[in-house]
Copies of this chain bind each other. A is one copy, B any other.
Amino acid sequence: MIKLAIIGGGDLGKVIAHLISELSEYKLVGFFDDYANAEQLVNVQGFEFPILGKTDDVSAQFEKGNFDQLLIGIGYHHFAVRQMMFERWKGKIPFANLIHPSAIVDKSFRMGEGNVVLAGCVLDKNVVIENNVLLNIGVTIAHDGHIDDHSFLGPSCVLAGFVNVGKRCFLGVGSVVIDNIKILDDVQLGGGALVIDDISRRGLYVGSPVRFLKS
């Protein structure tokens, strides 16, 4: 059984912890969190997990064999920290890839590491997600979609074929992106957004079809 630790014991960390409880090959040993102390316990659906330490303790605990793989539990409100934490240990400590058993994943799907795919996602032919990406429940990505590092896709987003999403993007619940669209880095889409043209400027976009709202 692979022992996992999560960076961050907040809401996202708990979502990941709950997913781990569905996966028989993994076992959660605890959380690292700079805003908690070692006596605290993190309650996940009635089960308690220890705070293993601060993020400065991660490497030492890994070397002691206290865990085997990491995941980043820092969400889309803190993309810079999310990225920084991932890069701090990338290449030094393995990151897990967690896929809910109900997800429908084509055999041609490829991904880097540190990714989380929640229940009911559908990932078609040649979809690629890079690293440290989270797909919330019911996300549908058609053939040849590509999602770059650290991005978050909200529940039931749907991307048609040949869509590229950049780094640190956030796609709100129920967003729709037509085929052959490129969305560059640091773009946020509001809930129910419809994207019918490339987006090449960072910022927040809302509407159907979307308009730029603010950076």
- A residues sitting closer than 8 Å to B (CB atoms) are 15, 18, 22, 45, 102, 104, 106-108, 118-120, 122, 124-126, 136-138, 140, 142-143, 154-156, 158-161, 172-174, 176-179, 190-192, 194, 196, 207-209
Contacts and interface: CB of A to CB of B under 8 A. Distances in A.
A194 B194 contact: no
Contacts of A196: 190-192
Copies of this chain, complex-wide, total 3
Nearest to A155: B142
The binding surface of chain A is classed by DSSP as loop
B142 A140 contact: no
Nearest to A154: B160
Given A106-B119, A158-B174, A174-B158, A125 B45 contact: yes
B160 A108 contact: no
Contacts of A192: 176, 178, 194, 196, 208-209
A142 to B, nearest CB: 5
Nearest to A145: B155
